Amino acid sequence: MLQQVPSLEGLTVSIAGFRGIVGEAMTPELAFHLAAVFAGFCPRGTVVVGRDSRPSGQALGAAVAAGLLSRGQNVLDIGIAPTPTVGFTVKKERAAGAVNLTASHNPSQWNALKLYGPDGSFLSPAMLERFLSLHELGAPPCLPSERFGHLREAPDAWKAHVERVLSQIKPEAIHPRHFRVVVDGCRGAGSLPLPFLLNFLGCEVIELDCVPDGRFTRPCEPLAENLTALRRRVSETRADLGMALDPDADRLALVDASGTAIGEEYTLALTTLAVFARGGRLAVANLSTSRLIDDVAARYGGRVIRTPIGEAHVVGAIRAHGAAIGGEGNGGVIWPAVHEGRDALAGAGLLLDYMAETGRTLAELVESLPRYHMVKHTAKVAPERVGELLSRARALHGSAQLNDEDGLKVIYPDRWVHVRASMTEPLVRIIAEAPTEADTTALCAPLLAEARRLS
């Protein structure tokens, strides 16, 4: 007999997972049910289970493992591990899929189940629809105990991920530079792996919040305004640079030697510069990512393919076109040579490799790129009225190039504005980039006024 289907009300459901506040929409009971359904959705074999450092992760992870095991799937529990390690481990172990417990940039009271296919990537939109159809039918019945799956633990799985990063760079060239690096681990899943990688590269590592206990001391997004402690520590210690992570270590933000947070948009631009210097000529980025990456591509005679927001869309385009690098402007670097997923470890290794090769400081590399001013606004707009906001944007910018693959992006030769509904929160995002602050203000002001009217 199929079990009663638990409600997904209160959750944000997308290719980025099932996300909600723990104890409200997100509960161990729901985690058990979704895992049990996933057990029937996956090919028979082993399912990887990982999590970030949130206090709720252990209980939810146990529920997920129970749901999988009771439906006959074997489980490889890798414990607290970076999100990219989860996908990497799926491919390394030839696993049937994975469940990762992380709410990424959301506050600690949130958590999420992120589902992966056997290719080590998030479920595609079509696969998610199939999974949701199975969810509506209810979880399959529990098997007799003799048919339960087996649990294996691999808490150091992230070390194989680090080894893969090392295999794609030149440690022997980085080591003599003795970079002094301050690491802000956000008390998350990258708190151990990133210092481990940097120590192996001969860096002097100064740790800040590198205890993976989930007791976040700053807002989770590695935005410039959230990196005060890191900026101060870089200045005090005269470090060469600072590196900041989010809780699941799929985003990397940078601070230069002066203590200036350069902005997470530069992470992908700089690593694209490094890959194109190696011979790469094709990159993929989402629609809201800075045009810096286009400038880098133009410098080398390359090009950039744009996709809707969401890692799965970027990964799909990377695979379809054989791109050398891709990612998102939130500090998410996807370097296929390591793994087809956003990966702060890969981004860190690639950046240091390029700094060692060129002999240039982080500030000098940033100075070599054009300057733009970007703003990111959010507004509360009822879902049924988002269409009105998009229509207003069309009316205001009828002479521009328009892209409606994900909301609406208005594109001019040297500036753009993108309006879209968030996948992870009940908000509308208005993002703009232009040569000056005044230009971005002019792009955003009418749309923000319209959003306030519609709220």
Per-residue pLDDT reduced to its tens digit, 264-311: 999 999 999 999 999 999 999 999 999 999 999 999 999 999 999 989
β-pair type (17-21, 110-116): antiparallel
Asked whether residue 58 falls in the same domain as residue 124, the answer is yes
Asked whether residue 31 falls in the same domain as residue 173, the answer is no
Contact 336/168 with Cβ under 8 angstroms?
A: no
Backbone angles phi, psi at 437, to 5 degrees: -60, -40
pLDDT of residue 1: 45
Last residue within a domain, chosen from 367, 384, 415: 367
Q: What is the mean pLDDT of residues 307-322?
A: 94
Parent domain of 204: 160-367
- Going by C-alpha positions, the residue among 183, 328, 356 that lies closest to residue 268 is 328
Asked whether residue 354 falls in the same domain as residue 420, the answer is no
Asked whether residue 295 falls in the same domain as residue 411, the answer is no
- Is residue 4 in some structural domain? no
Q: How confident is the model at residue 390 (pLDDT cuts 50, 70, 90)?
A: very high
14, 56, 70, 104: which one is catalytic?
104
Asked whether residue 144 falls in the same domain as residue 202, the answer is no
pLDDT in tens, 408-433: 999 999 999 999 988 766 789 999 99
Does position 157 have pLDDT exceeding 80, yes or no?
yes
Asked whether residue 140 falls in the same domain as residue 219, the answer is no
Does position 237 have pLDDT exceeding 80, yes or no?
yes
Q: What is the mean pLDDT of residues 193-221?
A: 97
CA pair distance 419, 403, nearest whole angstrom: 10
pLDDT in tens, 434-445: 999 999 999 999
pLDDT of residue 427: 86
Last residue within a domain, chosen from 116, 136, 155: 155
pLDDT in tens, 13-31: 988 899 999 999 999 999 9
Asked whether residue 183 falls in the same domain as residue 327, the answer is yes
pTM score above 0.85: yes
- Is residue 7 in some structural domain? no
CATH number assigned to the domain comprising residue 22: 3.40.120.10
State the amino acid at position 282 in one-letter form: L
Asked whether residue 150 falls in the same domain as residue 186, the answer is no
Does position 323 have pLDDT exceeding 50, yes or no?
yes
Asked whether residue 217 falls in the same domain as residue 333, the answer is yes
pLDDT of residue 424: 64
| Portion of the chain with pLDDT greater than 70, in percent | 99
Does position 207 have pLDDT exceeding 70, yes or no?
yes
Contact 324/260 with Cβ under 8 angstroms?
A: no
- Is residue 3 in some structural domain? no
Does position 169 have pLDDT exceeding 60, yes or no?
yes
Does position 454 have pLDDT exceeding 90, yes or no?
no
pLDDT in tens, 41-51: 999 999 999 99
Last residue within a domain, chosen from 140, 155, 170: 155
68-72, 137-141, 176-180, 264-268: least confident range: 137-141
325 token code pair: 């690098």
Q: What is the mean pLDDT of residues 445-449?
A: 94
DSSP-based three-state secondary structure for 248: coil
The owner of tokens 């002019």 is 442
Asked whether residue 247 falls in the same domain as residue 385, the answer is no
The owner of tokens 């633990």 is 153
Domain count, the chain: 3
- Is residue 354 in some structural domain? yes
Asked whether residue 321 falls in the same domain as residue 235, the answer is yes
Asked whether residue 151 falls in the same domain as residue 170, the answer is no
Strands (E), 66-136: 74-80, 97-101, 110-116
235 part of the active site: no
pLDDT of residue 3: 58
Contact 113/85 with Cβ under 8 angstroms?
A: no
420 token code pair: 């879209």
Does position 2 have pLDDT exceeding 80, yes or no?
no
- Is residue 175 in some structural domain? yes
State the amino acid at position 451 in one-letter form: A
- Is residue 405 in some structural domain? yes
CA pair distance 145, 181, nearest whole angstrom: 51
pLDDT in tens, 66-85: 999 999 999 999 999 999 99
Taking every pair of Cα atoms in the chain, the longest distance, rounded to a whole number of angstroms, is 68
- Is residue 1 in some structural domain? no
pLDDT of residue 344: 98
